[in-house]
Chain A
């Protein structure tokens, strides 16, 4: 992915919520990995569903997109696709750059 894919604009009045938000996303990433290892597709679907809802509400469109893919992958039981999305998510979280405006 290009550098711009990791850049996110977040509303200034949400700034103080972002550390908690990102902390929860990292916990979510761990939970996704555990669920994938256990092939717990229902848990994966729920986590993906939540990511889809909350991501772009804060301005993190990518999180919503990955969440949608995880939700779909969990429904179809496509473990390889799920693994790729979770890796992508981890990569995104480690590189995301936030600008408040």
Chain B
């Protein structure tokens, strides 16, 4: 039988001993205290499963203790039985107002005491069981959400999302919103030749290796993967959670992608005789973020000029080259070795109404 602990509080030692004896005979553990202040301290430090509480006590009286316990979420669910010789209506009303779960009149009838305690024990255990089930369901729910999030963000960020998850459930807002973001596109150079000259199952294996390397780099810096199509990967920063150092994260992700892909590219060269590399485009600016799709299929999406600019930049980038917009470059200038950077001037990118200052960084 699980241990069910009852706290008996009565300033009359004979009454306390009587209550303790009856409860113990029913297989429950009993602690006994004789004044209100000690009782309150004990409950707060070592919450019992049930309290039998005398009303007329030295220190805080039973009503005051009950009120205190019921107003504290940590102790509100502990059942309290007021055991009292006070028979007047006013005292009963005061007891109800204090939040007592039940009353026992003194002198105490043994059978009534046992019946009430057993009932409250059953209720308490049922409540505890329901609470355990609720918590288990909550854990399951969060795990399901974590798995869903993990499709978009790094496992570390997914855990952080779950930890901070409030009642509004998701940071991936149902309604689209505008936000300042950093968008990184990565593309595999030499992919067209691969698809033409290498067996399909090998192409799939290579793409898996390629995306694994790039995804790991993105996750390491807590980027959010928005899209993976063909040989192209779209990663966002400062979304869905603020990242004050988003440009630095994006830059380190670009470095990580190229360095992780290096050994893979060398292995492919040996295995299939193909020359490959990663081209990257990065842009900083405002974008629209939201879940886009139909009731049957939704996609967490980032759209807008910032994304289009990054897409144009990656199309122009050579292997091991990062093409970045001027606004992005300004925010990472200090992180980049000067000799690697080449200003390409203001370029009219396809489909864009205004020119974009472009910088090339060779890795």
Question: Residues of A at under 8 Å CB distance from B?
Answer: 11, 13-14, 17, 20-21, 24, 46, 49-50, 52-58, 64
Question: Residues of B at under 8 Å CB distance from A?
Answer: 12-15, 17-18, 21, 25, 56, 85, 106-108, 110
CB-based contact B107/A13 at 8 Å: no
CB-based contact B14/A21 at 8 Å: yes
CB-based contact A53/B12 at 8 Å: yes
A24 is contacted by which of B13, B21, B85, B107 (Cβ under 8 Å)?
B13
Name the residue among B12, B13, B17, B85 with the largest chain A CB count within 10 angstroms: B85
Name the residue among A11, A17, A49, A53 with the largest chain B CB count within 10 angstroms: A53
In whole angstroms, how far apart are the Cα atoms of A14 and B14 in the complex?
Answer: 11
User: Which residues from chain A contact B13 at a C-beta distance below 8 Å?
Assistant: 20, 24
CB-based contact A54/B14 at 8 Å: yes
In whole angstroms, how far apart are the Cα atoms of A92 and B14 in the complex?
Answer: 19
Name the residue among A14, A17, A57, A58 with the largest chain B CB count within 10 angstroms: A57
CB-based contact A54/B12 at 8 Å: yes
Of all chain B residues, which has the CB nearest A68?
Answer: B85
> Chain B interface mostly helix, strand, loop or mixed?
helix
Q: State the Cβ distance, B291 to closest chain A Cβ, in Å.
A: 66
CB-based contact B110/A11 at 8 Å: yes
CB-based contact B56/A14 at 8 Å: no
User: Which residues from chain A contact B107 at a C-beta distance below 8 Å?
Assistant: 52-57, 64
CB-based contact A17/B110 at 8 Å: no
Of all chain A residues, which has the CB nearest B105?
Answer: A53
Q: State the Cβ distance, B101 to closest chain A Cβ, in Å.
A: 20
26 CB < 8 A contacts A-B? A11-B110, A13-B25, A14-B18, A17-B17, A17-B18, A17-B21, A20-B13, A21-B14, A24-B13, A49-B85, A50-B12, A50-B15, A52-B85, A53-B15, A53-B108, A54-B12, A54-B15, A54-B18, A54-B106, A56-B107, A57-B15, A57-B18, A57-B106, A57-B110, A58-B14, A58-B18
Q: State the Cβ distance, A13 to closest chain B Cβ, in Å.
A: 6
In whole angstroms, how far apart are the Cα atoms of A21 and B16 in the complex?
Answer: 11
In whole angstroms, how far apart are the Cα atoms of A46 and B55 in the complex?
Answer: 13
In whole angstroms, how far apart are the Cα atoms of A56 and B14 in the complex?
Answer: 12
User: Which residues from chain B contact A14 at a C-beta distance below 8 Å?
Assistant: 18, 21
Name the residue among B14, B56, B85, B106 with the largest chain A CB count within 10 angstroms: B14
Of all chain B residues, which has the CB nearest A63?
Answer: B107
Of all chain A residues, which has the CB nearest B108?
Answer: A57
User: Which residues from chain B contact A46 at a C-beta distance below 8 Å?
Assistant: 56
In whole angstroms, how far apart are the Cα atoms of A17 and B347 in the complex?
Answer: 98
Q: State the Cβ distance, B294 to closest chain A Cβ, in Å.
A: 72
CB-based contact A20/B14 at 8 Å: yes
B21 is contacted by which of A13, A50, A55, A56 (Cβ under 8 Å)?
A13
User: Which residues from chain A contact B56 at a C-beta distance below 8 Å?
Assistant: 46, 49
Q: State the Cβ distance, A44 to closest chain B Cβ, in Å.
A: 15
CB-based contact A52/B106 at 8 Å: yes
User: Which residues from chain B contact A20 at a C-beta distance below 8 Å?
Assistant: 13-14, 17
User: Which residues from chain B contact A53 at a C-beta distance below 8 Å?
Assistant: 12, 15, 85, 106-108
Of all chain A residues, which has the CB nearest B54?
Answer: A53
In whole angstroms, how far apart are the Cα atoms of A18 and B48 in the complex?
Answer: 28
